[in-house]
Amino acid sequence: MKVKDVAREAGVAVGTVSRVLNDHPAVTRELRERVEKAMAHLGYEVDVTAQSMRAGRSRLVACAIRDFDIPRFALFIKEAEAVLREAGYTLLLASTTNRPDVEIALLRAFRRRRVDGVMMTLSDEQHLDVREALSEALMPVLLIDRDRIEALDRVTADHREGARLATSHLLDLGHRRIAMLVGDLNAFPSRSRLEGFRAAHAAAGIAPDPRLLRDDVLSSEDAYRATASLMSLAERPTALFVAAMDMLGGCLRALRTMGVAVGDGISVVAGSDSDLAELHTPPITAIAWDLAAMGRHAATMLLERMRGDEIERGRGLTVPTQLIIRGSSRPFAS
């Protein structure tokens, strides 16, 4: 079955069939319907690979994130996928394992596959080779929770404000030795959280103890070790802000092993909400934001950019964060 046969059946030129297959905007609705009817009649199935060869596009959108095992992030992917599917795109998902060389290899692979658009996180936005790969990407790239590459669109959460609220809450309760666990300070979320933590301290006229900050907490095991080491200090913290996403489990496991009671022994605030935070005894105070909305916005903004709408470069959209106060954060009792 060939394009020629479809053209004959529809009574149009071969070029018209091609234009219909490539979604050319100049095709009238009447012509499109006539060609589609002929295709249906002949049982002509569009070969997407052949078609994307001609049109230079694949109807694929790639999403590359550090890791798939961040449960909360599934909400982002689910919503983004729904928006993209509605628009006729299939989502390609890949893990960067938070390594620049993998990010670069993926960008090249996406380009070779003629992916129409990419949404991704970056391990280090300042990395020169990653920057170069991005500039050679030849397709729209939207950054997820990253903010340093001004030419690219981005969707972020207001982690700075979330961390500021959490820290102020603990300071208001009388805590002065607040420990903080964060992830990679090269990346926007952890950097913003640290800014918020410091801003709250500055507003209260209090200098945080640098020995109570643990960064590069990227796994449940990291959180376990960081919590255990903090609780082994001669001068223990009285509150623990587990600001990295999804690290609460490791922290609670360490506190349990060391026999420290959440609430009475130490106040705890989680950097992201979860069933665990909500249903723990006592329930854990947590920062929340709408990851589903982030996914929706990311997909919508990327689609606009892919259509080549006349919009300024480097648009940023930020979803708000809020603090859900529960029983794990209590007044400091000296």
List of residues contacting a second copy (CB under 8 A):
45-50, 52-53, 58, 60, 67-71, 74-75, 77-78, 81, 90-95, 109, 112-114, 220, 248-249, 252-253, 256, 274-276, 278-281
Cβ nearer to a second copy, comparing 74 with 206: 74
Cβ nearer to a second copy, comparing 31 with 92: 92
Cβ nearer to a second copy, comparing 260 with 276: 276
φ/ψ (deg, to 5) at 157: -105, 155
Integer CA distances (angstroms), 139 to 56, 206, 209, 265, in order: 11, 47, 45, 52
Cβ nearer to a second copy, comparing 75 with 173: 75
Cβ nearer to a second copy, comparing 194 with 270: 270
The least distance separating a second copy from the CB of residue 251, rounded to whole angstroms, comes to: 10
Query: Who contacts 229 (Cβ-Cβ below 8 Å, separation ≥6)?
Result: 214
Antiparallel, parallel or unpaired: β 267-270 and 141-144: unpaired
The least distance separating a second copy from the CB of residue 221, rounded to whole angstroms, comes to: 13
The type of residue at 210 is: P
The least distance separating a second copy from the CB of residue 146, rounded to whole angstroms, comes to: 21
- CA 186 to chain centroid: 15
Q: Provide the token pair at 128.
A: 């020169």
Beta-ladder partners of 319? 157
φ/ψ (deg, to 5) at 5: -65, -40
The least distance separating a second copy from the CB of residue 283, rounded to whole angstroms, comes to: 9
The least distance separating a second copy from the CB of residue 124, rounded to whole angstroms, comes to: 21
Q: Provide the token pair at 49.
A: 């690979």
Residue 80 near residue 74, CB atoms below 8 Å: no
Cβ nearer to a second copy, comparing 199 with 276: 276
**Quick count: other Cβ atoms within 10 Å of Cβ 223?**
24
Closest CA to 270 of 252, 285, 251, 281: 285
Cβ nearer to a second copy, comparing 94 with 171: 94
Q: Provide the token pair at 231.
A: 């609780």
The least distance separating a second copy from the CB of residue 117, rounded to whole angstroms, comes to: 15
The least distance separating a second copy from the CB of residue 285, rounded to whole angstroms, comes to: 16
